[in-house]
Structure 1
Amino acid sequence: MTEDRKNLMTRTLSGAVLAVAIVGSLLWSPWSFGAVLALLVAGGMYEFYTLAEKRSSRPQRVLGIAVALALFGLNAVVTRGVAGIGFESALLGALALLLLMVPVLLVCELYRKNDDPMAAVGTTLLGILYVVLPMICLFHIASAGGKGWDWNPRAALGYILIIWANDVFAYLVGRKLGRHKHFSRHSSNKSWEGFFGGVAGAVAVGLAAAWWFGGNLWAWGGLALVAAATGVLGDLTESMFKRAAAVKDSGDLMPGHGGVLDRFDAVLLSAPFVAVYLLLCRYVFDVALFC
């Protein structure tokens, strides 16, 4: 067996395991999906801080990851509600954590021997914003597809399929037809042909999801456009971080795919845009993914 074929089989197997974990947990329950996302938050934060350290920054790794997991956990409690804790208590806890986050980081920095405290605090905060907030948005997308706020995994499942379709079609079209480079400063492999191929594939999957789920074609088509356009920027953003750190992959958690940031780079930038899009559909245009 050739080395290329071994790499392809490794990549395919690890990708299949990841897909089963994500989709299976999503369909099982909000708590299983939240648990998987929490693991991804921890892994993504660890990788981001490792990249920052390669640029001679010294983020507060342990505190940053702890704050990120606490924010994500409180968000899950606020979203779904837990008996004995209460919605109001969880919401107040999340707000208090956000208010105290910067002062606590600054106080902790006083006790560290660090030549550049501003960079340390800045990269610690950026890791939290870059990784945990998009995962919170992804968790919310599964509750924002209809007129109410009940758990509806079809919305998040459709979004994930759209992101994957965008990635696959951009790769296939770019490899066959790519001639005009797109943002070569951060990624030499990206082309405009691949970009439009990815958008077309994402919209096609979005419309297929609308038909399969019995949803609104216009709402799903718009979601696919937003996810595809911003997902590409997420890929470029992560490439920018990796190039600055002079590394090929953000980690080696998933053989053939790299780390959490490598696999979920499109989600990390597109999920907030999609969440805002769904909120605008609901409250401004009175349109829902599912009628």
Structure 2
Amino acid sequence: MAGLNKKSKELLTRSLSGALIVIAILGGISYGGWLWGVMVTLVGIISLDEFYQLAAKRLKISKGIGLIFGAVILMAVGLGHAESHVILVSLALAFIAVLSIEMLRRQYSRVSTAIENGAGTLAGLVFVVLPWSFSVILREGPYGKILLLSVFLCTWACDVSAYIVGTLWGRHKLCDNISPNKTWEGFCSGVAGSFLMASAIAYVRSFPPLPLLIVGLICGIAGQMGDLCESILKREAAVKDTGKILPGHGGMLDRFDSVLISLTLVYFVFEVAWR
């Protein structure tokens, strides 16, 4: 009975926390502008810090440099300086700053970890910061609001569908050495759930279906890939959650891992290839 009460409380906490996250994200996207820029910067920096905490269990990481340049990229994009050279120059300068520190360490202590430090620091910026910066750029596009709303709604529909079907009827393991609970049944239902959500959004908003169906397909597949990518990082770092900032969900990276690859691909399709 005590165990049941504990599980009920955990479910209630997770549900309430999840509802607040949904309201905050949808509100930020709907309002756009500075509000979305501030939200993205906060989420991106907290997620990046969690990524570096994971990486630091295996690598030497210059977390301070990564966080500084991550904030520079996100704030620059949020203030409307979305030109690609701002992002590229920031990545290059971050790498140069790491190498400079490693040169000093080598000079005075005869020990350096330039390769792993540079790679680990840049990996966080590429995996976490760039997708969130793409979300700001995407939001300011001609149809950015509905595309961005679709990314999050389709991702959440994918997560819920995959969880329900995988829990009730999942039999065939998808990647049991990475995420033991994921099944092919759950994966396929996640893709279907995302696709159906995209169809529903197109119908309700009287929007041409093709772009949103593309978003649905991307989120159904790439969303689950993003979750698996974070899972392998946690496996190697031997941790269950990336943090505790979100009650019932773990860290910020735990909650938003599914959108990282999706945001990158949707940005590429509609801001680069489609044009």
TM-score (norm 1): 0.86
Identity of aligned residues (%): 34
Secondary structure of 2:140 counterpart: coil
**Equivalent position amino acid for 2:50 in 1:** E
The answer to whether structure 1 residue 125 and structure 2 residue 122 are counterparts is yes
Secondary structure of 1:195 counterpart: helix
**Equivalent position amino acid for 1:196 in 2:** C
CA distance in structure 1 between the aligned counterparts of 2:272 and 2:49, rounded to whole angstroms: 33
Give 1:138 shift: 1.8
Q: Closer, same or farther in 2 for the Cα pair 1:145/1:197, shift >3 Å?
A: farther
Q: Counterpart in 1 of 2:139?
A: 142
Give 1:193 shift: 0.5
C-alpha contact (below 8 Å) 1:170/1:197 kept by paired residues: yes
Give 1:187 shift: 0.5
**Segment drifting more, 70-79 vs 231-240:** 70-79
The answer to whether structure 1 residue 32 and structure 2 residue 42 are counterparts is no
Deviations 1:75-111 (A, max 9, x none): 223457xxxxxxxxx7765454344232222102223
CA distance in structure 1 between the aligned counterparts of 2:86 and 2:138, rounded to whole angstroms: 22
**Equivalent position amino acid for 1:129 in 2:** V
Q: Closer, same or farther in 2 for the Cα pair 1:39/1:184, shift >3 Å?
A: same
C-alpha contact (below 8 Å) 2:193/2:220 kept by paired residues: no
Give 1:40 shift: 0.8
Give 1:23 shift: 1.4
CA distance in structure 2 between the aligned counterparts of 1:99 and 1:64, rounded to whole angstroms: 12
The answer to whether structure 1 residue 198 and structure 2 residue 190 are counterparts is yes
C-alpha contact (below 8 Å) 2:234/2:241 kept by paired residues: yes
Deviations 1:180-204 (A, max 9, x none): 1101121001101001101111111
**Equivalent position amino acid for 1:4 in 2:** K
C-alpha contact (below 8 Å) 1:179/1:191 kept by paired residues: yes
Secondary structure of 1:119 counterpart: helix
CA distance in structure 2 between the aligned counterparts of 1:226 and 1:96, rounded to whole angstroms: 29
CA distance in structure 1 between the aligned counterparts of 2:272 and 2:45, rounded to whole angstroms: 30
Deviations 1:1-49 (A, max 9, x none): 7000010111111112212221112222321011111011111111111
Query: Equivalences for 1:1-291 in 2 at 5 Å?
Result: 2-55=5-58, 57-78=59-80, 93-112=86-105, 115-144=112-141, 146=143, 152-279=144-271, 282-283=274-275
Q: Closer, same or farther in 2 for the Cα pair 1:91/1:237, shift >3 Å?
A: closer
C-alpha contact (below 8 Å) 1:161/1:205 kept by paired residues: yes
CA distance in structure 2 between the aligned counterparts of 1:137 and 1:118, rounded to whole angstroms: 27
CA distance in structure 2 between the aligned counterparts of 1:235 and 1:96, rounded to whole angstroms: 29
Runs (4+) of structure 1 exceeding 6 A deviation are none
**Equivalent position amino acid for 1:76 in 2:** G
CA distance in structure 2 between the aligned counterparts of 1:176 and 1:118, rounded to whole angstroms: 45
CA distance in structure 1 between the aligned counterparts of 2:210 and 2:87, rounded to whole angstroms: 35
TM-score (norm 2): 0.91
Q: Mark the runs of 5 or more structure 1 residues left unpaired by the alignment.
A: 81-89, 147-151, 284-291
Q: When the two structures are aligned, how many residues end up with a matched partner? A: 268
C-alpha contact (below 8 Å) 1:27/1:153 kept by paired residues: yes
Q: RMSD over aligned Cα, in angstroms?
A: 1.9
